[in-house]
Structure 1
Amino acid sequence: MTRRSQGLPATRFSDAIPVLTAAAAEMKTNATNYYYIGFAQNKLGHGDQAITALNQSLAIDPKDPDSLTLLADIYFSQIRQNPAIARQVISIGERLIAVRDDERAWGLLGQAYLVDKQYPKAAPLLDKFARAHPDSGGAWYNLGVAFSRSSQWKPAAEALEETARLAPTNIAALLELGYVYESDKQYDKALAAYQHAFEASGQRDETARAGIDRVKQAKPEVR
């Protein structure tokens, strides 16, 4: 059982922090208290304080999987605003997977590699994550993008087709699928994917419209 599953000793996170801080001051070599402080601070939305506490935990126990996981989660939540943070997640994720080679680590590290455009490293991890979550359209989409950006058209198409099956109106997945089939010169399938994306967008998506026109020009007999 992980510390996370055991919960905090106080119901309110704001009440827990002073208690945990006092305990940490008394037991300076106990990483658990710093982990809990980081957990509570994160729940309160205090990201910087959470990061500080978790780094203190890891200074005591560099292989603590709970602290590594939560720290990676916090940084990953900031990736959309600052993609450069992916490097930080990668550094933590590589440490995490060395001590906990499980689906949590696969997802975190695989997605961080994907954001950082390290597609060959992302694909194997995202493949394992998708197979652990076969009903997740998002997992298959991430895998499809990793294969697509590596120009591995067949596995990319397979993953994106699975995304389309699970989420038939996912425009991003349909556009990526169209791109994959177009790149692989499977123009009939490319046209179908682009048309599906165009219809799913209410006939408003210009990328889908451009893909339809491009495929028709590349192979005029495709209609």
Structure 2
Amino acid sequence: AQYARAAAALERAVLGSEAKGVSFYLLGVAHSRAKNFPKAITALESAAAKTPDDVNVYRELGYAYEVSKQYAKALAAYTKGSNLAPADTDFKESIERVRPFAK
């Protein structure tokens, strides 16, 4: 419930303004934690467009896609994150986990 309230407050702050990527990222995280994955994906896609070099965006976006069973998109997000942070083994594990399901 607290994440849903946080998401609502962030949404009001982000919509209708020239929000920065971090604002969309935080909104996406709040929606993700509230298990509202369609809204999380929308916010995180906006974050990725505004901050394409932020590995945290791709970690969250990959997770939101994965739990939404959008495995090809999850694989793409995790791969982008892995390319940005090659030493991060979490991305490699995530890639291996979703690869069999990606079409």
* TM score, norm. by length of structure 2: 0.93
- Structure 1 unaligned regions, length at least 5: 1-116
Q: Which residue of 2 aligns with 1:148?
A: 32
Report the 3-state secondary structure (helix = DSSP H, G, I; strand = E; otherwise coil) of the residue aligned with 1:159. helix
- The one-letter amino acid of 1:149's match is R
Instruction: Tell me the SS of whatever aligns to 2:15.
Output: helix
- 2:87 alignment partner in structure 1: 204
Identify if the C-alpha distance between structure 1 residues 135 and 126 changes in structure 2 by more than 3 Å, giving closer, same or farther.
closer
Larger gyration radius, structure 1 or structure 2? 1
Aligned equivalent of 1:213: 96
Correspondences of 1:167-186 after superposition (within 5 Å): 167-186=51-70
> What RMSD over aligned residues (CA atoms) do the two structures have, in Å?
1.5
Taking the aligned partners of 1:206 and 1:132, their CA distance within structure 2 comes to 38
Distance in 2, matches of 1:134 and 1:210, equals 35
Unaligned stretches of 5+ in structure 2? none
Report percent identity of matched pairs.
Answer: 37
CA contact (8 A) 1:135 1:166 kept: no
* Contact preservation (8 Å) 1:133, 1:139: no
Residue in structure 2 matched with residue 25 of structure 1 by the alignment: none
Whose RCO is larger (CA < 8 A, sep 6+)? 2
TM-aligned CA deviation for residue 132 of structure 1: 4.5
Query: How big is each residue's C-alpha offset from its partner over 1:3-54, in whole Å with a ceiling of 9 and x where there is no partner?
Result: xxxxxxxxxxxxxxxxxxxxxxxxxxxxxxxxxxxxxxxxxxxxxxxxxxxx
The Cα of 1:200 is off from its aligned counterpart by: 1.0
Corresponding residue for 1:126? Answer: 10
Alpha-carbon distance between aligned partners in 2 of 1:206 and 1:176, rounded to the nearest angstrom: 15
- In the TM superposition, 1:1-223 aligns within 5 A as 118-201=2-85, 203-217=86-100, 219=101, 222=102
Cα distance in structure 2, aligned partners of 1:152 and 1:213: 25
Distance in structure 1 (CA, Å) of the matches to 2:37 and 2:61? 9
